């Protein structure tokens, strides 16, 4: 970054011109600059400025020729930023003043661009424009992660694993059912992102520094030009209160909150992956390219992507706390404190995007070890509840059935035999209701067929869920599947 302090541009554009006798002290400039991080808003800043300039031409503040010159000036600047030859000047504080100063240096009409505008409504606009793009991109990544999970589910629809509560084996589920639990969580995250997007999608430009403008600004035209419209009706959406508009960062908090919860979901998924990849569980194999080794222990293969995803949750959750704390106690309206919102917001956006993308890629390169899963799921104790249900179907109250099966489990433990190999007499000693057909209870596949309740891990139910998710996520039919007729 560099720039000449004495250029004619800076003196005509910087906010101190006129009122102050000199520039800020060097350490003040270094303390207060934001260009080192807000430069990334440049595309959106130019987009906003072009819309504002278009409106100024409509209301007669700019001539057609001036508007044209501003447009080509910004096009040239954008091309230089793109190629990396543009020189940002920290003395000009932020992205807004850098771009306006450079435009004005090249195009005299640049000095009319800030008419009816303040950096307060400008920065609110830029962040909203930027966040809108960011949310759309993130929703695409979340859908890709859902597809990776549904892909794993489809491939492993009849691989059974123990489901756990308290991290103790509880009841059998399918690997697919476990994957689809995360697909559901991600769907709620996506809904929250869509809701956030809806509230981000309001145009604050025209609010000025705090109290609008005396000029006849056409806010609706700007909003429409920038796509701040109701998605159903196309009606432009402009903020209703200038004081609220320049100091509101609710939309940024919402994004940080939504991504914090998304990161918590990712962290839980990461924890499951880490457990499954241990020798103790041994349920999955992550492709080498998505693991790391140890500098000392030659045999190690570590699930670092999942661990880092789990670890980065701390940052994303912390960013939410930082933003909430930043806003608490700010008097109306704009306060310079608000400049501190951007690094937290950018960090949440970058971190969550990377985590979602890498988790998705890792899962797409993960295979399930069906044999180890089946061996773990074949623990007959997982079907103890099914045994109680057997008695219930024969008329026993559930509380009593629970007690009887508990006694059967204890008998199995004492005799050192698996519960499914106890002689019928031992069972009948606990309840006369046990008959020879009780053996079928321990047939895992049939046990999974019996689970027909909506939302359960039953074979049919999970197959329906998989095909429903494939349709919702626009996934092609899995290989080897005949083309289904369209739903009527
Ligand atoms: N860089 C500033 C920010 O991010 C832009 C707005 C400055 N406004 C002001 N009144 N100093 O908040």
**Ligand 1 centroid from CA 331, angstroms:** 16
Q: What is the pLDDT of residue 477?
A: 82
Domain boundary assignment for the chain: 2-115, 129-374, 379-450
pLDDT in tens, 342-373: 999 999 999 999 999 999 999 999 999 999 99
Runs of H (alpha helix) within 201-291:
219-225, 242-247, 250-276
Average pLDDT estimate for 124-152: 98
Q: What is the pLDDT of residue 488?
A: 40
Q: What is the pLDDT of residue 278?
A: 97
pLDDT in tens, 234-272: 999 999 999 999 999 999 999 999 999 999 999 999 999
Q: Would you say the CB of residue 336 lies under 6 angstroms from ligand 1? A: yes
- What's the rounded Cα separation, in Å, for the pair 488 and 486? 6
Q: What is the pLDDT of residue 14?
A: 59
Instruction: Indicate the SS3 state at residue 164.
Output: strand
Atom number, ligand 1, closest to the C-alpha of residue 341: 4
- 293: pLDDT confidence band, cut at 50, 70 and 90? confident
- What's the rounded Cα separation, in Å, for the pair 198 and 228? 10
Atom number, ligand 1, closest to the C-alpha of residue 342: 4
- What's the rounded Cα separation, in Å, for the pair 425 and 415? 14
Tell me 22's DSSP state: S
pLDDT in tens, 214-237: 999 999 999 999 999 999 999 999
Instruction: Indicate the SS3 state at residue 226.
Output: coil
Q: Tokens representing 290?
A: 């998505």
Runs of H (alpha helix) within 14-94:
26-32, 35-38, 42-58, 64-83
- What's the rounded Cα separation, in Å, for the pair 252 and 399? 51
Q: Is the pTM of this model over 0.85?
A: yes
> Which residue, 198, 201, 161, is CA-closest to 181?
161
pLDDT at 12 over 80: no
Average pLDDT estimate for 116-127: 98
Q: Would you say the CB of residue 124 lies under 6 angstroms from ligand 1? A: no
Q: Would you say the CB of residue 339 lies under 6 angstroms from ligand 1? A: yes
In CATH, which of 3.30.70.2500, 1.20.200.10, 3.40.50.1950, 1.10.3720.10 is domain 129-374? Answer: 1.20.200.10
Q: What is the pLDDT of residue 479?
A: 67
Residue of the nearest CA to atom 7 in ligand 1? 119
- What's the rounded Cα separation, in Å, for the pair 368 and 377? 14
- Output 473-477 pairs: Cβ under 8 A, ≥24 positions apart: 473/143, 473/146, 473/147, 473/150, 475/147, 475/150, 475/151
Q: Would you say the CB of residue 94 lies under 6 angstroms from ligand 1? A: yes
- What's the rounded Cα separation, in Å, for the pair 368 and 370? 6
What is the sign, positive or negative, of the torsion defined by CA atoms of 403, 405, 408, 413? negative
Q: What is the pLDDT of residue 297?
A: 86
Q: Would you say the CB of residue 247 lies under 6 angstroms from ligand 1? A: no
Using CA atoms, how far residue 317 sits from 192, 196, 400, 465, in Å, is 16, 17, 46, 31
Residue of the nearest CA to atom 2 in ligand 1? 339
Q: Tokens representing 329?
A: 């106690």
Residue of the nearest CA to atom 12 in ligand 1? 339
pLDDT at 301 over 60: yes
User: For a pocket test of ligand 1, which of 44, 120, 345 has the largest count of ligand atoms closer than 8 A to its C-beta?
Assistant: 120
Angle at 38 between CA 241 and CA 199, to 5 degrees: 35
pLDDT at 314 over 60: yes
Active site residue 348: no
Which of 4, 32, 294, 415 is the catalytic position?
A: 294
Active site residue 166: yes
pLDDT at 103 over 60: yes
Q: What is the pLDDT of residue 4?
A: 38
- What's the rounded Cα separation, in Å, for the pair 294 and 282? 19
Which of 2, 21, 85, 166 is the catalytic position?
A: 166
Angle at 468 between CA 465 and CA 471, to 5 degrees: 150
Using CA atoms, how far residue 334 sits from 202, 328, 394, in Å, is 18, 13, 71
Q: What is the pLDDT of residue 19?
A: 80
Q: Which fold has domain 379-450?
A: Ribonucleotide Reductase Protein R1; domain 1 (1.10.40)
Q: What is the pLDDT of residue 13?
A: 59
Using CA atoms, how far residue 409 sits from 325, 378, 417, 428, 434, in Å, is 54, 16, 10, 13, 14
Q: What is the pLDDT of residue 201?
A: 98
Q: Would you say the CB of residue 119 lies under 6 angstroms from ligand 1? A: yes
pLDDT more than 70, % of the chain: 95
Range with the lowest mean pLDDT among 28-42, 142-156, 338-352, 467-481?
467-481
**Ligand 1 centroid from CA 436, angstroms:** 79
Q: What is the pLDDT of residue 294?
A: 85
**Ligand 1 centroid from CA 7, angstroms:** 22
Q: What is the pLDDT of residue 480?
A: 61
Q: Tokens representing 253?
A: 């908090």
Average pLDDT estimate for 51-80: 98
Contact criterion met (CB below 8 Å) for 202 and 285: no
Choice between 44 and 1, residue whose per-residue pLDDT is larger? 44
In CATH, which of 3.40.50.720, 1.10.10.10, 3.30.1360.70, 1.10.275.10 is domain 2-115? Answer: 1.10.275.10
**Ligand 1 centroid from CA 119, angstroms:** 6
Average pLDDT estimate for 280-307: 92
pLDDT at 39 over 90: yes
**Ligand 1 centroid from CA 54, angstroms:** 23
- What's the rounded Cα separation, in Å, for the pair 148 and 450? 28
Count of residues making up the chain: 488
- 443: pLDDT confidence band, cut at 50, 70 and 90? very high
What share of residues in the chain are helix, strand, coil (percent, to 5)?
A: 65, 5, 30
Residue that is written with structure tokens 């520039």 in the block: 23
pLDDT at 441 over 50: yes
Give 249-268 as a 3 state SS string: CHHHHHHHHHHHHHHHHHHH
**Ligand 1 centroid from CA 100, angstroms:** 14
């Amino acid at each position: 970054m560099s720039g000449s302090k004495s250029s004619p541009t800076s003196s005509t554009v910087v906010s101190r011109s006129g009122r102050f006798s000199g520039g800020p002290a060097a350490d003040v400039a270094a303390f207060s600059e934001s260009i080192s991080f807000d430069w990334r808003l440049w595309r959106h800043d130019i987009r906003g400025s072009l819309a504002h300039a278009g409106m100024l031409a409509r209301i007669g503040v700019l001539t057609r020729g001036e508007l044209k010159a501003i447009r080509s000036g910004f096009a040239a600047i954008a091309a230089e930023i793109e190629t990396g030859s543009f020189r940002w000047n920290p003395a000009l504080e932020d992205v807004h003043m850098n771009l306006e100063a450079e435009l004005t240096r090249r195009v005299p009409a640049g000095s009319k661009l800030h008419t009816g505008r303040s950096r307060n409504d400008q920065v609110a606009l830029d962040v909203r424009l930027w966040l809108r793009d960011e949310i759309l991109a993130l929703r695409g990544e979340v859908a890709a992660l859902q597809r990776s999970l549904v892909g794993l589910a489809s491939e492993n629809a009849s691989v059974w694993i123990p489901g756990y509560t308290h991290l103790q084996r509880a009841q059998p589920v399918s690997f697919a059912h476990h994957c689809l639990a995360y697909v559901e969580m991600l769907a709620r995250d996506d809904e929250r992102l869509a809701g956030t997007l809806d509230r981000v999608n309001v145009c604050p430009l025209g609010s000025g520094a705090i109290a609008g403008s005396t000029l006849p600004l056409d806010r609706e035209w700007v909003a429409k030009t920038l796509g701040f419209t109701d998605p159903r009706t196309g009606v432009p959406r402009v903020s209703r209160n200038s004081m609220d508009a320049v100091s509101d960062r609710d939309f940024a908090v919402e994004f940080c909150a939504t991504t914090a919860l998304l990161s918590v979901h990712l962290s839980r998924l990461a924890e499951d992956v880490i457990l499954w990849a241990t020798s103790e569980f041994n349920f999955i194999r992550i492709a080498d390219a998505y693991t790391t080794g140890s500098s000392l222990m030659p045999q190690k293969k570590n699930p670092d992507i999942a661990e880092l995803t789990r670890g980065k949750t701390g940052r994303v959750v912390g960013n939410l706390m930082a933003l909430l704390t930043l806003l608490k106690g700010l008097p109306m309206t704009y306060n310079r404190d608000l400049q501190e919102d951007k690094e937290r917001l950018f960090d949440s956006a970058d971190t969550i995007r990377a985590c979602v993308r890498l988790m998705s890629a890792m899962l797409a390169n993960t295979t399930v070890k069906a044999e180890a899963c089946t061996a773990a799921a074949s623990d007959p104790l997982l079907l103890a509840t099914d045994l109680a249900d057997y008695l219930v179907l024969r008329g026993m109250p559930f509380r009593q059935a629970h007690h009887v099966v508990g006694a059967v489990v204890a008998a199995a433990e004492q005799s050192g035999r698996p519960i499914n190999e106890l002689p019928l007499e031992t069972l009948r000693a606990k309840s006369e209701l046990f008959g020879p057909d009780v053996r079928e209870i321990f047939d895992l596949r049939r046990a999974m067929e019996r689970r027909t309740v909506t939302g359960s891990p039953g074979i049919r139910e999970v197959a329906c869920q998989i095909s429903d998710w494939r349709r919702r996520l626009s996934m092609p039919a899995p290989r080897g599947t005949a083309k289904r007729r369209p739903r009527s």
